[in-house]
Each structure stands twice: as structure tokens, then as C-alpha cells.
């Protein structure tokens, strides 16, 4: 079911957005050569406890997950692009790391993701990350009354295709509110003028993610982590956005 939020409810969602942004800022800053993925998860877990927030991930068990997730942040490294389950791995120089985090504060959820390079970057990794960020900005710009879901999707796809990246539509953006995942689904490819009309009060997570040389993925033996079939690297950018009568409101904007 698609729910529209009142202006007052959107204001109530701001603390969740600020908290999610702060966790991604802290974990991105902490990610360095030699740092273990489990340390990043522990940092996020401690920030949740300190803030009195609730994890959206630790007990999360959708049909595509092998078991409850059991951690509080997704850490996808190199050829992993989504749902990366934190495990005993020390980050190495040049790793491409995507961090995806969602939490509930006072009963409202926000969801966001960022990709970074640890240590010495590769030019092709920086280009991939920058493309996901530009695609996210394009999708956000299209998130306004009078447009439709397809306009967000097409704006994302236009950026990806201009850079030569193919697009997987199995996973994409989604509604956000009292729970992490809700309607509508927002694929990262679509057609202008198609799909649900966008109205003020709709709150969604917009999340382009691309792989360097494929759009095909498989599930790691851990039952969660999604990897490219050809070993190419992936990047992921995401914000929670409220559609208003004016400009889109990015609730998870990082300083």
C-alpha cells in the first residue's frame, strides 16, 4: 500500500534521516586499510545504541535472504554491490566499499548508501562511483509533483547509459516510512511518463547501483551478498527523499 505523509509527519522523519547520514559519515571515515568489516558494523551498532534508535537490518529476513541478516549495516566490497553481509575481512588498499544503512528513530525509517574507495583509488572505480552519484542526483531532481515513477527511473538510466553501464532492475528504490521497504518500487530503468503519479507526501528511497561490465548478479554462499557474475566492481548511492509541493527534500543528506 502506498501512503502519503503529511508535512508534520515528514518533519518527524528528519531525525531518522540525520541519524542515518551520521552513521554513514562515521563509518565512511573509519573505513581505512586494515580496518575489519566487523569493526564497521560494531561502530554502527554502538551508534544505534547510543542514539536509542532501532536497526532495520539485524532481524530482517525477506524471501531472498537465507536467514535473518544478523548485522546492522551492509558492507559490499569490490565485486559485491548490494546486501554485503559484514564478515571477518580487513580492508585492503584500493578496495571499493559500499555502505548501506537503514534505521528507525521514533518509529520513522530512513535509508541511505554511499560508495568510497579505501586507500589508493582506481580511475575506473572513481568513475563508477561518480556515475551512481550523478544518477542519484538526476533521480532526485525528477522526484516532483507532475512526474511519474518512470521519470525517476529514466533519469537514472540516462546517466548510466551515457557512461556505458548496463542496468539491473531486480533491485531498486522503494517507499520508506514506518518500515524500511514499501511501495512503490522504483527500478533504475524505465520510461518517461509511465507508472505511479508522484504526489506531495510520498517518501521514497532512490538508489542507483551499477556494475562496471555486467548487469547480472548472483548470491554469495553467505545467503545475502550480491556479486557481479564476471567479478567486475559495483557502486551504490542512495538517499531517502520526500516529495513536496516544491523542491524534493533529501532527508539523508550528508554534510
207 is an annotated ligand-binding site residue: yes
100 is an annotated ligand-binding site residue: yes
Contact status, residue 152 vs residue 169, Cβ threshold 8 Å: no
| Spatial separation of the C-alpha atoms in residues 192 and 228, rounded to whole Å | 28
- What is the pTM (predicted TM-score) of this model? 0.96
Q: How far is CA 119 from CA 28, 177, 214, in A?
A: 12, 36, 25
Tens-of-pLDDT digits for all 255 residues of the chain? 899 999 999 999 999 999 999 999 999 999 999 999 999 999 999 999 999 999 999 999 988 888 999 999 999 999 999 999 999 999 999 999 999 999 999 999 999 999 999 999 999 999 999 999 999 999 999 999 999 999 999 999 999 999 999 999 999 999 999 999 999 999 999 999 999 999 999 999 999 999 999 999 999 999 999 999 999 999 999 999 999 999 999 999 997
| Spatial separation of the C-alpha atoms in residues 115 and 101, rounded to whole Å | 12
Closest by CA position to 240, among listed 16, 4, 1: 16
83 is an annotated ligand-binding site residue: yes
174 is an annotated ligand-binding site residue: yes
111 is an annotated ligand-binding site residue: yes
Instruction: Report all structural domains of the chain as residue ranges with CATH numbers, in order of start.
Output: 7-250 (3.90.230.10)
Looking up cell 559495483 gives 234
Amino acid at each position: 500500500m502506498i501512503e502519503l505523509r503529511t508535512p508534520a509527519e515528514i518533519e518527524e522523519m528528519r531525525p531518522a534521516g540525520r541519524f542515518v547520514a551520521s552513521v554513514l559519515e562515521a563509518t565512511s571515515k573509519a573505513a581505512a586499510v586494515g580496518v575489519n568489516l566487523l569493526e564497521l558494523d560494531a561502530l554502527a551498532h554502538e551508534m544505534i545504541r547510543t542514539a536509542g534508535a532501532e536497526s532495520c537490518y539485524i532481524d530482517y529476513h525477506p524471501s531472498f535472504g537465507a536467514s535473518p541478516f544478523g548485522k546492522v549495516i551492509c558492507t559490499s566490497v569490490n565485486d559485491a554491490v548490494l546486501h554485503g553481509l559484514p564478515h571477518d575481512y580487513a580492508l585492503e588498499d584500493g578496495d571499493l566499499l559500499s555502505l548501506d544503512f537503514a534505521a528507525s528513530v521514533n518509529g520513522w525509517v530512513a535509508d541511505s548508501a554511499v560508495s568510497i574507495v579505501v586507500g589508493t583509488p582506481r580511475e575506473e572505480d572513481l568513475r563508477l562511483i561518480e556515475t551512481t552519484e550523478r544518477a542519484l542526483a538526476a533521480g532526485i531532481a525528477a522526484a516532483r509533483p507532475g512526474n511519474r515513477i518512470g521519470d525517476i527511473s529514466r533519469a537514472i538510466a540516462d546517466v548510466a547509459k551515457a557512461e556505458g553501464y548496463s542496468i539491473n532492475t531486480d533491485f531498486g528504490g522503494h517507499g520508506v516510512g514506518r518500515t524500511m521497504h514499501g511501495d512503490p518500487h522504483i527500478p533504475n530503468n524505465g520510461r518517461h511518463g509511465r507508472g505511479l503519479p508522484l504526489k506531495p507526501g510520498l517518501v521514497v528511497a532512490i538508489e542507483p547501483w551499477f556494475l562496471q561490465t555486467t548487469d547480472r548478479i548472483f548470491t554469495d554462499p553467505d545467503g545475502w551478498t550480491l556479486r557481479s557474475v564476471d567479478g567486475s566492481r559495483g557502486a551504490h548511492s542512495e538517499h531517502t527523499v520526500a516529495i513536496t509541493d516544491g523542491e524534493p527534500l533529501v532527508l539523508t543528506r550528508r554534510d
